[in-house]
A and B are shown apart, each in its own frame.
Chain A
Amino acid sequence: MSQVISSLGFGIVTASILLPAAVGFTLQFSTTNVLNIAFGAQMTFAAFIAYLCTQHGVPLWPAMVIAGVFGALSSGLLNRLLLAPFQRRGTSFFGMIVVTIALALVIEYVVEIIWGPSSVSYPLQGGKAVHIGSMIFSQEQLIVIGVGVVIALCTHALLRYTRIGKAMRAVAANPALAKSSGIRAQRVTDFAWAASGLMAGMAGVMLGISVSSVSYTMGDTFLIEIIAAAVLGGVGQVYGAMVGALVIGVLLEESAIVLSGAYAPIAAFAVLILVLMVRPTGLFAGTAKVKGIA
């Protein structure tokens, strides 16, 4: 039983990383209708940027912020230079998926060329472990959880109280209507990509801290968990993605204890498939959106 609780601690850490990632992924998808397979690769790239910073003496936490900013800028640029032109050309929904797949390949292997195939790690302090009940956290893990919570709150505030956040929700709910009611689509799209890049960057560094290694395939593997969380919550549902992150994160770690480590992802993904059998649009399906999917 105490094992179950202690792994709940790991689950919360994993969920805290999944949260910004799934929120960023789904926020950008719902506003721009591009399913971004390169999201994992963007995480990896930003994680290595943070690594580069720490190599040059920048402390880890400022490095995480730098990685986030780098993620935001590069993601915004990628949209302007590559994805938006393809969309303007009328590339189909599935065509855009293939574009992001190609982008993922390019980013991932550029990282491999620059930093090599073997994994690196951040300089971690270690420090005193913190006991909460039978859960044990390192100080870094606690900060990771804190960052996750802060990001969740910021996202909520952004969507609820800012003009740009409201505009994003409007575009997500009905792109055509939002456009005709005077929302500047270009600004919203730019913002969505930048925000998702920021979250990818932060999540990349958080993941690197949590598993204490950073490798060029790391985001690629994690992408599946992000997708699982986003799909579970209902694609395009930001709050759904938060719940999805929590469920998938905890499931992954708990099933590692209840079953054995190797089966953990299987259990988590099997739950996802089962949920979709019962609720084909995820847990938090909103209004039936009519989007150009074909």
Chain B
Amino acid sequence: MDYYVTILALYIVVAVVACWGLNLQFGEAGVLNFAYILFVAAGAYTTSILTLGHPSPGGLQEYFWGTNLPWPLPWLASAVVGGVLGIGIGAVSLRRLRGDYQAMVLLVISILGTYLVSAKVSLLNGATGLSQIPAPFQGVLHLGIIGYRLFYLGLSVVAALVVFEILRRIQRAPLGRLLRAMRENEAAASAVGHNVVALRLLVMGVGGAIAALAGAIQVQFIGAWAPSSWTYPETFGLFAAVIVGGRGNLGGVALGAFLVQGVFLEGTVLFPNIANPNLVGASQWISLGALILIFLWFRPQGVLPERRRVFGRQPAPGLLDPASIIGPVEGVSV
């Protein structure tokens, strides 16, 4: 039982981190990144090759290059790769294209990534994928299976907390307000002097870095990664979690990730003896679709809606002279 609980807990932490990154893009800034899972994959592959060591000719698996870095360098490097990739893909897809094109092109890019990695075996072992990816400190610590899992869970939670703090700061700062303004009305945001292209690239970068970190955490835990782990419908599962939990609310998104990714998707996989596994798989996706529809209809803001921002009432002295701003306005009674 503990065995399942630790696995499930880790999957949920990974899902929460991934959904937070997606929330920055979709929930806060209104950027619909249908290639999101690609960034999770980029992180997973980066951490894989940075921990697997040099590829040995004639070895079990092929990959273009590799080395062996100590934790947490692979995770950090993954975040950097995810961020750079986000800005790169953002520059290609978001800079010049209209909203509807952006969504479609990102979807195409996601598939393109899967095809490319599957087709070029020498790159990242093709469709078979990479395996035997080492976990950090596993050889050093002698903790037993459950003990090590708990240790690794601890590392992941620390990473998740760092991500949370970064996102909370962005959300509360004037930057977060600009992102929400862009979500509400892009043309109006640029008409008052904000560079919406730069803002979109920013969330592609930061969101991509967070996605990649989620992939890095996951891959060192399960020890394997293949194109089948990141097909594009996976992105929709993450979207579902963000919508159900509550776009724009970090706590809500975490709850959504827990409900959808943890209980709903992974939970049923981990307890396969309920029914015919094939049927479980399909009915799980059907109910996920139904869940999205139900929420969009009955509670489009999610379980925990975005919070209303309230500003304190301490007037700054010397700044409250209305005449200095727009002058006296006759006939406008307060």
Closest chain A residue to B187, Cβ basis: A294
Say yes or no: A227-B104 contact (C-beta < 8 A), given A105-B285, A266-B115, A273-B109. Answer: yes
Q: Is residue A132 within 8 Å, beta carbon to beta carbon, of the partner chain?
A: no
A86-B288 in contact (CB<8A): no
Q: Is residue B186 within 8 Å, beta carbon to beta carbon, of the partner chain?
A: yes
Closest chain B residue to A94, Cβ basis: B32
Q: Is residue B324 within 8 Å, beta carbon to beta carbon, of the partner chain?
A: no
Binary contact track B84-114/A, C-beta < 8 Å → 1, others 0: 0000000010001111110111011101100
Closest chain B residue to A114, Cβ basis: B282
Q: Is residue B236 within 8 Å, beta carbon to beta carbon, of the partner chain?
A: yes
Q: Is residue A276 within 8 Å, beta carbon to beta carbon, of the partner chain?
A: yes
A contact residues around B112 at 8 Å (CB): 265-266, 269-270, 273
A35-B285 in contact (CB<8A): no
Task: Enumerate A255-293 residues with CB–CB distance to B below 8 Å.
Answer: 260, 262-263, 265-266, 269-270, 272-273, 276-277, 280-282, 293
A109-B115 in contact (CB<8A): no
B293-A102 in contact (CB<8A): yes
A98-B290 in contact (CB<8A): no
A262-B104 in contact (CB<8A): no
Task: Enumerate B70-85 residues with CB–CB distance to A below 8 Å.
Answer: none
Q: Is residue A101 within 8 Å, beta carbon to beta carbon, of the partner chain?
A: yes
A276-B296 in contact (CB<8A): no
B contact residues around A93 at 8 Å (CB): 99-100
B292-A102 in contact (CB<8A): yes
A contact residues around B272 at 8 Å (CB): none
B296-A228 in contact (CB<8A): no
B185-A95 in contact (CB<8A): no
CA distance A91 to B285 in the complex (A): 23
A117-B278 in contact (CB<8A): yes
Q: Is residue A235 within 8 Å, beta carbon to beta carbon, of the partner chain?
A: yes
> Which of A86, A105, A108, A276 lies in contact with B105, CB distance below 8 A?
A276
B101-A280 in contact (CB<8A): yes
CA distance A228 to B281 in the complex (A): 29
Count chain B CB atoms within 10 A of each CB in A29, A93, A103, A269 and give the residue with the most. A269
Q: Provide the main secondary structure of the chain B interface.
A: helix
A contact residues around B105 at 8 Å (CB): 231, 272-273, 276
Nearest-Cβ distance from residue B329 to partner chain A, whole angstroms: 32
Say yes or no: A91-B300 contact (C-beta < 8 A), given A276-B101, A294-B186. Answer: yes
A112-B30 in contact (CB<8A): no
A105-B286 in contact (CB<8A): yes
Nearest-Cβ distance from residue A19 to partner chain B, whole angstroms: 18
Say yes or no: A224-B283 contact (C-beta < 8 A), given A97-B32, A263-B119. Answer: no
A contact residues around B236 at 8 Å (CB): 101-102, 105
Q: Is residue B116 within 8 Å, beta carbon to beta carbon, of the partner chain?
A: yes
CA distance A260 to B186 in the complex (A): 43
Q: Is residue B239 within 8 Å, beta carbon to beta carbon, of the partner chain?
A: yes
Q: What count of chain B residues pass the 8 Å CB interface test?
A: 45
B111-A98 in contact (CB<8A): no
CA distance A89 to B293 in the complex (A): 13
Q: Is residue B154 within 8 Å, beta carbon to beta carbon, of the partner chain?
A: no
B279-A113 in contact (CB<8A): yes
Q: Is residue B223 within 8 Å, beta carbon to beta carbon, of the partner chain?
A: no
A262-B118 in contact (CB<8A): yes
Q: Is residue A104 within 8 Å, beta carbon to beta carbon, of the partner chain?
A: yes
A103-B289 in contact (CB<8A): yes
Say yes or no: A272-B108 contact (C-beta < 8 A), given A97-B32, A101-B292, A235-B101. Answer: yes
A113-B283 in contact (CB<8A): yes
Task: Enumerate B103-157 residues with CB–CB distance to A below 8 Å.
Answer: 103-105, 107-109, 111-112, 115-116, 118-119
> Which of B100, B243, B283, B289 lies in contact with A293, CB distance below 8 A?
B100
A269-B96 in contact (CB<8A): no
B contact residues around A117 at 8 Å (CB): 278
CA distance A262 to B232 in the complex (A): 18
B293-A103 in contact (CB<8A): yes
Q: Is residue A177 within 8 Å, beta carbon to beta carbon, of the partner chain?
A: no
Closest chain A residue to B116, Cβ basis: A266
Q: Is residue A110 within 8 Å, beta carbon to beta carbon, of the partner chain?
A: yes
CA distance A270 to B119 in the complex (A): 14
B contact residues around A95 at 8 Å (CB): 296, 300
Q: Is residue B271 within 8 Å, beta carbon to beta carbon, of the partner chain?
A: no
Binary contact track A67-110/B, C-beta < 8 Å → 1, others 0: 00000000000000010001001010111011101111110111
Closest chain A residue to B99, Cβ basis: A293
CA distance A293 to B289 in the complex (A): 23
B contact residues around A89 at 8 Å (CB): 297
Nearest-Cβ distance from residue A186 to partner chain B, whole angstroms: 21
B contact residues around A116 at 8 Å (CB): 278
Q: Is residue B233 within 8 Å, beta carbon to beta carbon, of the partner chain?
A: yes
B contact residues around A110 at 8 Å (CB): 282, 286
Say yes or no: A273-B286 contact (C-beta < 8 A), given A95-B300, A105-B233, A266-B115. Answer: no
B293-A99 in contact (CB<8A): yes
Binding site for A on B (CB under 8 A): 30, 32, 92, 96-101, 103-105, 107-109, 111-112, 115-116, 118-119, 184-187, 233, 236, 239-240, 243, 278-279, 281-283, 285-286, 288-290, 292-293, 296-297, 300
Subset of 7 A-B contacts with CB under 8 Å: A98-B292, A102-B293, A105-B233, A113-B279, A228-B108, A265-B111, A273-B112
Given pairs A97-B103, A224-B107, A273-B92, 14 additional interface contacts (CB within 8 A)? A82-B293, A95-B296, A97-B32, A102-B240, A102-B289, A102-B292, A105-B286, A110-B282, A227-B108, A231-B101, A235-B100, A262-B115, A276-B96, A280-B96
What are the 9 A-B residue pairs with the smallest beta carbon separation, nearest first? Answer: A105-B289, A262-B119, A102-B292, A106-B289, A293-B99, A280-B96, A102-B289, A109-B282, A109-B285
